[in-house]
Every structure is written in C-alpha cells, then in structure tokens.
Structure 1
Amino acid sequence: MPFETFALPLVWWVNQLPLLRVNGFQLEWTTGWMDTYQVQIVPFVANAFSIFFFHQYFQSIPRELDEAAIVEGAGWFTIYRRIVMPLSGPAVATVAILTFLPAWNSYLWPLMVVQSEELRPVMVGISYFFQLNVG
C-alpha cells in the first residue's frame, strides 16, 4: 500500500498522542507530536520486514543455549538480556541500517509534520535551500 494513502490519517493520529515536554525545570504533558523528533522516528520503527527479520533471526539461535541457561537457574529476562541480545547484534545493526536509510531520504512525511528548521531532515532542507532567492 503506498504511503500517500495513509499519510493524512497518520498525521491526525500522531497529533493526538500525548508528549512529555521539558519546560524550564518543569515537566508538562502536551498533546501532539508535531514538530518533534519522535514524529519522524516512532511511526516507522516497527515495520513488517523488521519483525519478520527479527523473528527469523531469533529462530536461528539454538534452543540449547536457552535450555542450558534454564538449568543454570536463569529466568527468561536474564536469558534475553545476557544470551539472546548479545547474539543478535548483527540483526539489530541490519534492521537499524535498513530502517535509517529510507527515513534519511524521506521527503513527504517530514514536509507534513516538521515546521522548524532545526528538525528538518536533509531532503526537506535541500528543497528549502533551492527555494531561496539569492540575488
């Protein structure tokens, strides 16, 4: 499904989400993620390919490692933290790279949700640069 079909509902959805902002020395809850880094990152973190890739990679880790850790008295969280996650470094790096590259080159989504110059990604910044009248 093309991104353009669900872009406007996604904008409405992220504008309804609560956000904890730092205002001086106070924390305050506001509504809407517009013009933040979160709105550019969070909606695209979990995609179908990443979930499939992690599922396949975690299935390739031998069950004997889990069973040996259980015999040693480790719980599920300890197994995950001390065995599975250190072994899944290549999968995490692959998914991070394959998720970062489309986000770096995205144009439509940041154009819709980011207004301030310091939060604009490269592609939107380049288009604003070419619109400047120098002369």
Structure 2
Amino acid sequence: MKIAVPFEDGQVFQHFGRSAQFKFYEAENGQLLRTEVIPTNGQGHGALAGFLVQHGADVVLCGGIGTGAQVALMQAGIQLFGGLSGDADAAVADYLAGKLVFDPDIHCTHHDHDEGHSCGSHCGGGCH
C-alpha cells in the first residue's frame, strides 16, 4: 500500500491543490517500509490525481481539498482522508494503527465562495 501526504516542513500541507511536494509512505501489513518525498513540478489541482496515480498512491491523507480534486481522486480509485493537520509522519502512523481521526466532509476553505472570492482563478472553476 502506498500512502501520499501533501507535505511541507514535516507537516501536512493544508491546500491539496497547491502542494509543491508529496511524501509517499510505502507500507505492508501495517508496517512502514520506506518513505520518499517527490516534488509535483508545478502540477496542481486536477493534475495531481494523475501525479498520484503515476506514483502508485492508494490513499491520500490531507488537510483541505476542493470538490473537483475529491472527485478526481475517487475516479482514480484513491481513498481520501481529509481534515488533517500537524505532523505528516504521525498522521500516517495513526492511519496504519487504525486510529486516524479525520473529517469525511472536508472541503478546501479557499473554495467557500463567499464575498469577493472566485475559485476560477486558481482551480479552473472545477471546484463547484
């Protein structure tokens, strides 16, 4: 199993679509085998699902994530656990131990569409 976490300075990066890198954790039978940090090379939002598929991700642990990215991950067969913050390694350890606390109704707070905000400028309008 391969777990991907949007990653910055050891922490779960809070805006999935703007992640500059992901940390990948390879695990088997609940044991961590190896980790690797891979840059996204400027790929963002919708393209990240393809990036994650290319790198063999089965699961994504993240903070905020827009609806378009959630749909892309679902269509790619990648399980999503959102609403996380803090230490990325600790989140993965909790996931592997079966005690991860996450928000099944997570959304990206940058996509709340309140006064004066248009997501079209950074997600191609695909977050509706």
Same fold at TM > 0.5: no
Length-normalised TM-score, structure 2 = 0.21
Query: Greater helix share, 1 or 2?
Result: 1
Q: What is the TM-score when the length of structure 1 is the normalising length? A: 0.20
Q: Please identify the structure whose Cα radius of gyration is greater.
A: 1
